[in-house]
Amino acid sequence: MNTTVNKGKKAISKGITRICSHYIEWYLNDKGLKLTDFDIEHIQNMLIDNYVTGDVCTIVPNGSTVGGWWSIQW
């Protein structure tokens, strides 16, 4: 599930995806984005290392980076 939300004047992308048997809630600081395979792999590795939340930094099609956050949905 992916959605775009206007947070004040800045739009963010957010969603929930299932990784390693967990529902992961995430957001990225730009509109119209979704997690890439590299983002999912990063989150998966963090889960394996027992993290329950963390940051995400994804590369968008124009080559710039966009930050965000993920956490296990409880």
Residue 2 has pLDDT above 80, yes or no: no
Query: Mean pLDDT throughout 39-47?
Result: 97
> Which DSSP letter does residue 8 get?
T
pLDDT tops 60 at residue 50? yes
pLDDT of residue 48: 96
Q: Is the pLDDT confidence value at 16 over 60?
A: yes
CB 57 within 8 A of CB 67: yes
Largest alpha-carbon pair distance within the chain? 36
List, in sequence order, every residue forming a beta bridge with 11; answer none if it has no partner: 6
* pTM (predicted TM-score): 0.83
Q: How confident is the model at residue 6 (pLDDT cuts 50, 70, 90)?
A: low
Encoding tokens for residue 55? 């940051």
pLDDT at 7 over 70: no
Please count the structural domains in the chain.
1
Domain housing 20: 2-72
